[in-house]
Amino acid sequence: MKSISFFAASLLSLSAASIGAVLTETTVPAKTTARTLTATIVASNKMYDGNTSATIMSCSLSGVVPPDHVSCTGSNGQFDNASAGTGKTVTAEVALSGTDAGNYKVAPTATTKADIAKATLTVTGITASDRIYDRTTVPTLNVGRAALVGVVRGDTVTLDKSAATGAFADKSAGTGKTVQISGLAIGGTDSGNYTLTQPTATADITPLAITGSITASNKVYDGTTPAAIATRNLFGVISSDVVSYVGGTATFADKTVGTGKTVTATGLFLSGADVGNYTVNGTTRTTADITPKTAYPNVTANSRIYDGTTAATQRRPRTSRLRA
């Protein structure tokens, strides 16, 4: 303990000749108080988790006399409440440490600001049905088993599926195509602490089966079976799509003359910008005629002397042959 000294003089006697003085020294203790410091804490932002705990990242002091060694720590940080929000008050306990800590004091708690971000919820259990190509992008959703994932135990949060819709990224046929789901919403007393991520599903758009047909040209008998395709038609193509029926070869069932003879075309296929959205029969049948080839007899007449008539005699009979 530091002290202050002073002297008290006691007058023992007074006379004309001499004065005696006795001086007595007395020591009295003096009081010294601790210096008050100000603590500043920094707290981490966090994701909503249903509790008020806060992490204190740092603690700093102002008012320390150089070169004293004093530091502080913040502990048991607590938000004012557990709800999501920005600029929320955080209170933490403060303690001093260091070789000179005994010469200082600080308030037992300090406050700061930090955020509680809304927690993200996801949805499982929604599927999309496969569908046949129809030039649209809207599938049928199955939401009966939809469920929220990520709700803090004890919180009341509900999933509203009434406005749920889905959309393929494009209209084209394909397998395992992504369906983006939208329109889901959350409700309930604790829903303000959450955001909802709209889920995705996968489904197929299968090509649309259409029908192709041809007509074949009639032909004159030539001893062969090949037939000429005259026209081609497609049935079932959606308006505005660009698809055509191409390729293939056609043949009569046999080479003989006849009407309404079966003609079979094979190797037919689709072409065009939207060909990937369709399937078609590669073989089709129609009918056509093979008409007889006209036969002309080859006759040679005998020469004769003019006699004023038109009569002629055949030189000799010959077998008829076909003339091209």
Domain boundaries, the chain: 35-117, 120-206, 209-291
Give the pLDDT confidence score for residue 16 in this predicted structure.
41
More confident site: 210 or 6: 210
pLDDT at 27: 53
> What is the amino acid identity at position 9?
A
Residue 12 pLDDT = 39
pLDDT at 42: 98
pLDDT at 10 over 70: no
The pair phi, psi for residue 101, each rounded to 5°, is -60, -30
Q: Tens digit of pLDDT for each residue in 236-282?
A: 999 999 999 999 999 999 999 999 999 999 999 999 999 999 999 99
Q: Mean pLDDT across the chain, nearest whole number?
A: 90
Q: Which amino acid is at 55?
A: T
Under the banding of pLDDT at 50, 70 and 90, the label for residue 292 is very high
In this model, does residue 20 exceed pLDDT 90? no
Question: What are 173-211's pLDDT values in tens digits?
Answer: 999 999 999 999 999 999 999 999 999 999 999 999 999
Q: Which two tokens stand for residue 72?
A: 């502080």
Q: What's the CA gap between 51 and 139, in Å, rounded?
A: 41
Helices (H), 182-320: none
Half-sphere exposure of 181 (CA within 13 A, CB side): 27
Dihedral Cα 183, 184, 185, 191, nearest 10 deg: -150
Q: Is pLDDT above 50 for 140?
A: yes
**The two three-digit tokens of residue 229, written as one number:** 């395709």
* Half-sphere exposure in the Cβ direction for 279 (13 Å, CA): 10
CB 160 within 8 A of CB 186: yes
pLDDT band at 299 (very low <50, low <70, confident <90, very high): low
For 168-202, give one letter per residue: b (16+ CB within 10 A) or e: beebebbeebebebeebebeeebbebbebeebebe
